[in-house]
Chain A
Amino acid sequence: MTGKQTAAYFIRKAVELLATLLLVSLFTFLAFSVIPGDTARVMLGANATTEQVEALRAELGLDRPLPVRYLSWLGGAFTGNLGNSTQYRTSVGGLIVSRLPVTLGMSVLAFCMIILISYPLAVLSSRKPGKFADQVCSVLGHILFAIPPFVLSLLLIFITGSLFKRVSVGSYTAPDVNFGMYVRSLMLPAFAIALPKIAMTFKFLRSSIIEQKASDYVATAKSHGLSDYKIMFRHILPNSNVSSITVISLVLSDILGGSLIVEQVFNLPGLGRLLLSAISQRDFPLLSGIVFYLALVTVILYFAADVFSSLSDPRIRIR
């Protein structure tokens, strides 16, 4: 691939990213304007007079027509100003950044758990498909996938709370206060997020490994006298990785959005809870800010998945 083609690829991806963000913001805006409820009314409470509400509406700019409101918000967004949250009265950007340590920390931890647990299990399981180890892994996977995250979180709290007294449940320490405590406080919620994803990644990897095992190049490698260990790590895993990249990027984009339920159960100030309050308080600037972030994360991850696939498989050329 020439430098020119690479440049063209990145330009096209950037255009795609912008178009996606634009559409997402438009849909968010439209969806928000059709759901019932008024920002000013919610802010002032049920006892406010109509005049007070109208005054606040004017102050917030809500009395202007829909397209004007959207364009003025869009203009702000393009200059990096996502506006002020109507409920917290601070900048949306600042709010999101303040919640990121929780969501990012959990995501990183959960992602490590997913990779570290699902890969060894898939390798173990695919050694002898249908035999004992495989059956145990598969049944466990199904159970974990079927339990709702809410129940799973409560179960985890119950189990760890009664087994390990030292794990702090339900309290969050900021990373700049005590990093060790920060990691420890996120361990359990990260695990709760990771478990169903582990089940999913495991199932996908397992079938992918089994499929690769039956391929002709594995027969060739065997006929060359390579050990099973080498065949697994040098041939089978890299080949199943190619198809796993897409699944893993989906998983990542999912966990980076923050988990509403897990944050609620573990009482963590993450993005999921911020999103919930934005919706319930009709806080449009905050909501669109969060949606903006989610769209950005998703598009960037898809893009990264494309690049990774083409790096790991010479047959795939990014175009």
Chain B
Amino acid sequence: MARHIHVLKVHHLTLSFPTRKDPNPKPVLDDVDFGIRDGEILGLIGNSGSGKTMTSLAIAGLLPEGAAITGGSIKFRGQDLLTMKPRDRRKMLGSEIGMIFQEPSTALDPLMKIGKNLDEVLVAHGVTDPAERREKILSTMKTVGFDDPATIYERYPHQLSGGQRQRVLIAGAALLAPKLLICDEPTSSLDTVTTVQILDLLKSLCRKLQMTILFISHDLSAVSNFCDRVMVMKDGKIIDKDTTSDILTNPKNAYTAELLTNARLDTRMLGIERAHVDYTSSPVLTAKGIEAGYSDRIFGKGSDNKVLKGVDLEIYPHEILGLIGSSGCGKTTLIRSLLGLLPHTGTASVVGRRIGAVFQDPVSCLNPAHTVKWHLNEALRVAEKKLSKEERMAKISAALSEAGLNDEFLGRKPHQLSGGQRQRVAIAMCLITNPGIIIADEPFSSLDASSSAEILKLLTDINRERGTSFLLVTHNIHIIRQIAPRVVVMDDGKICESGLTNEVLSSPKASATVRLLDAETKLHGA
């Protein structure tokens, strides 16, 4: 077979979702044209809805029902994929084209042991000898970094961590050493430390198995140390294509430059100003000796598992307090305890007004059956009961406009909003109760770079103008460095380090902080 410089060549690909009413809708992919060179790692960057995932699904032949390719071709090692029989195309999946998805927690069949989940791949591609299959699975699991593959082989998916599951999925995709590996946001649900490990793994696999990788992400800065070349996608078109270093240092396209600003969260460019915090005043929130956990006792036997092992915390007026730590350190449990959503021991006292909360996933926070107005009204009813209809409406539109939305949105339901707009509604629901403190749990992690930057600006504006204190939980140290004057680091249910952000991050003492900073440096560069 002739050697091709391009493993995959996508030629003027156009894709749309025609319906009976609208046979010629606006294309989802519009004249997409690129090639992936043998052995390279190509990044595909864009905001949500830009067509990244559709591009990957078109290559794999797993497009959702209703999608129609109206033009162009996809050639894999010289073969035209679009004219192939579906059966032959399916045979290619797993053996020549591998895929890894975003959500490792749900990407494995929960009823099957890890070994069985992987075994299927080999069975489907005609490896008939069980001993040979087992041997191959164990050796691949070793390659993806499991020291004791035989144990993991017998585990069920729910017994593994997110990072471990993603390794299993990478093992599944790499079992037959496919030529092309498509990774669709493989790290966006993982914490920074795990992200770095997974990226390192992919890079080494790429070299070891001579794979080519198409790496899809919404975070431009996250791909900087990983990809050889980067493409930027917007509205179904590829608008910029260059080597990674050129894109990062010298973006020629205006949109790329904007993405870069957003990804770096450059506070000066975004016009973010810090509020002045007076640390001599008395704190608005004081928590002492918070302990919480769960128990799996049956008839008094079994054990108590403490997730929080005595946490002390103070938040001052006007302050944004950053809370960082890797997954499983107890951040979420702490927040839930502070909000009174979990049974806990210890005391948490708030001075003055109530606590508001903004959560990670704005999709599941809003009731899909109701309008924006209903949500705000509900929130207001909790805070203030005796208000006339006019007063209510005035408060609702004031909160909405403070969150950066206008009255047009009042009648919309959650599915008619973008991710960033939903998060704004969640923030408006918080503001309408006039809270003294807002606890924000990873409010950016489900948003793309542009929306994150906007929400970040909104939160800092609220902090400065209203004087609202924030407890900002995130695994993005970069954000903390930019906007939080003080930071606490959690590890294993305890606060292992706290102090002024500059001091903690420039001379970290706890090992957990060092780990987080190392990962951060590897991921985003110094």
Q: Let me know if A216 and B124 touch, CB within 8 A.
A: no
Q: Which residues of B contact A227 (CB under 8 A)?
A: 90, 124
CA distance A230 to B109 in the complex (A): 13
Asked if B98 is an interface residue, CB under 8 A from chain A, the answer is yes
Q: Which residues of B contact A312 (CB under 8 A)?
A: 111
Stretch at the interface among B18-26, B99-107, B513-521: B99-107
A31 to chain B, nearest CB (A): 35
In the complex, which residue of chain B has the Cβ closest to the Cβ of A313?
Answer: B111
B502 to chain A, nearest CB (A): 41
Q: Let me know if A225 and B107 touch, CB within 8 A.
A: no
Q: Which residues of A contact B299 (CB under 8 A)?
A: 8
A226 to chain B, nearest CB (A): 5
Chain A 210-241 interface mask (CB, 8 Å, partner B; 1/0): 00000111011111111100100011001100
B285 to chain A, nearest CB (A): 37
Q: Let me know if B92 and A225 touch, CB within 8 A.
A: yes
B314 to chain A, nearest CB (A): 39
Asked if A156 is an interface residue, CB under 8 A from chain B, the answer is no
Q: Let me know if A225 and B124 touch, CB within 8 A.
A: yes
Find B91's partner among A225, A230, A242, A314 (CB 8 Å cutoff): A225
Q: Which residues of A contact B111 (CB under 8 A)?
A: 238-239, 242, 312-314
CA distance A225 to B124 in the complex (A): 7
A301 to chain B, nearest CB (A): 22
Q: Let me know if B156 and A217 touch, CB within 8 A.
A: no
- Given contacts A8-B298, A219-B62, A225-B92, A313 and B110 within 8 Å (CB-CB): yes
Q: Let me know if A314 and B156 touch, CB within 8 A.
A: yes
Q: Let me know if A234 and B62 touch, CB within 8 A.
A: no
Q: Let me know if A216 and B107 touch, CB within 8 A.
A: yes
B76-106 at interface with A (beta carbon < 8 Å) = 90-95, 98-99, 101, 103, 106
Q: Which residues of B contact A242 (CB under 8 A)?
A: 111
Find A224's partner among B93, B156, B158, B298 (CB 8 Å cutoff): B93
Asked if A280 is an interface residue, CB under 8 A from chain B, the answer is no
Q: Which residues of A contact B92 (CB under 8 A)?
A: 225
CA distance A8 to B298 in the complex (A): 9
CA distance A306 to B110 in the complex (A): 18
CA distance A225 to B126 in the complex (A): 11
CA distance A222 to B111 in the complex (A): 17
Q: Let me know if A223 and B60 touch, CB within 8 A.
A: yes
Q: Let me know if A217 and B124 touch, CB within 8 A.
A: no
Q: Which residues of B contact A315 (CB under 8 A)?
A: 110, 156, 158
Q: Which residues of A contact B173 (CB under 8 A)?
A: 223-224
Q: Which residues of A contact B298 (CB under 8 A)?
A: 5, 8, 319
CA distance A121 to B158 in the complex (A): 32
Q: Let me know if A219 and B109 touch, CB within 8 A.
A: no
Asked if B288 is an interface residue, CB under 8 A from chain A, the answer is no
- Given contacts A217-B107, A242-B111, A225 and B60 within 8 Å (CB-CB): no
CA distance A315 to B108 in the complex (A): 13
CA distance A138 to B103 in the complex (A): 33
Q: Which residues of A contact B120 (CB under 8 A)?
A: 221, 224, 226, 230, 234
A1-53 at interface with B (beta carbon < 8 Å) = 5, 8
Q: Which residues of A contact B110 (CB under 8 A)?
A: 217, 239, 313-315
CA distance A220 to B106 in the complex (A): 10
CA distance A315 to B155 in the complex (A): 11
B136 to chain A, nearest CB (A): 14
B335 to chain A, nearest CB (A): 25
- Given contacts A5-B298, A230-B124, A225 and B94 within 8 Å (CB-CB): yes
Asked if B44 is an interface residue, CB under 8 A from chain A, the answer is no
Chain B 282-300 interface mask (CB, 8 Å, partner A; 1/0): 0000000000000000110
Asked if B172 is an interface residue, CB under 8 A from chain A, the answer is yes
Which residue, of A226, A239, A242, has the highest number of chain B Cβ atoms within 10 A?
A226
Q: Let me know if B95 and A225 touch, CB within 8 A.
A: yes
16 A-B pairs with C-beta separation under 8 A: A5-B298, A8-B299, A223-B173, A224-B93, A224-B94, A224-B172, A225-B90, A225-B93, A225-B95, A225-B124, A225-B125, A226-B124, A235-B109, A239-B109, A239-B110, A315-B158
**Using a CB–CB distance below 8 Å, which chain B residues touch chain A?**
60, 62, 90-95, 98-99, 101, 103, 106-112, 120-121, 124-125, 156, 158, 169, 172-173, 298-299
Task: Give me 12 other A-B pairs in contact (C-beta within 8 A), A217-B108, A226-B124 excluded.
Answer: A216-B101, A217-B106, A217-B107, A219-B101, A223-B94, A224-B173, A225-B91, A225-B92, A225-B125, A235-B112, A239-B109, A315-B158
